[in-house]
Amino acid sequence: MNKQNVATDSVRPDSPLKAKESLEIPLIRSIGVLAYDKVSEQDCLTPLEIFKGASMVIRGDISPWDREAAPETIDVKLVSLKGGVVTMQMGTQVVPDETLDDDALYDLLYIPGGIGSGEIAQDTQVLDLIRRHHDAGKVIAANCSGVGVIARAGILSAEPVTCVAAIARGLRNEGYNVPITRRMWIGSPEERIWTATGSYGVNGSAVALIAHYFGREVGTIVAMMFDTFGGIGEAIFEPLGPEFYAHGVLEDSFQNLFENMLLPVS
């Protein structure tokens, strides 16, 4: 995909982030979080737990007050493309709920980051999985260096995205729109793309995603369950997360160290 380098300090006035109220919100009834060798524990398991917590709220298992909405079932699974145990980047071992076949589709596919993300960014099976979901109109979300994986899948447009500092420079150099002042998360509802920064931003971004697709009440309950409201408050109801501080010299150092591993040249 040919792009111009469009990194900016802010979101464009005509961005879909400015007009989310007019968009039809997709129905999310299944969520798959991708596990792979050397995925980050925090990047993978934190959103998984938040999504499972949201499913408990929606099902009616957790309700701090009487809700008018009828209980519904949301299928949330840890998924992989290879059977058996997955060893995460710090050595934690998990057994995914499902091994995906070529026909599997989730309404929301979540790609976490981790030191193994550079390898899956070159894995045609993973890239085909992402493209298949996006082509089918499903929502794609990614955090940390997982954003580089969805970039390699070719589904990003000129709309702004965010990511971990370690790959921000590399993505900008390739023409992707990573604002100079990164955001904790950036949702592009019209594009059906949600991106988030690394570990610190994973909690808030996952709760914001839940609030957008399942409504303010569910978002509020989930934000209280995971103490997100106390940290960032009403920001969870916006598709544009809080600004991150920029530390140019430190970011350069970490980019020099990790960029080739997390965002190898395709």
pLDDT-derived band at 4 (thresholds 50, 70, 90) equals: very low
Give 7: exposed, middle or buried? Use CB within 10 Å, 0-12, 13-18, 19+. middle
Say if CB 120 and CB 152 are below 8 A apart.
no
Instruction: Check pLDDT > 70 for residue 9.
Output: no
pLDDT value of residue 24: 75
State the architecture of 25-251 in CATH terms. 3-Layer(aba) Sandwich (3.40)
Phi and psi of 259, rounded to 5°? -60, -45
Tokens of 114: 């981790």
pLDDT tens for 147-192 read 999 999 999 999 999 999 999 999 999 999 999 999 999 999 999 9
pTM of the predicted structure, to 2 decimals = 0.91
Residue 180 or 4, more confident: 180
What's 173-237 look like in SS3? HCCCCCCCCCECEEEECCCCEEEECCHHHHHHHHHHHHHHHHCHHHHHHHHHHCCHHHHHHHHHH
Domain boundaries, the chain: 25-251
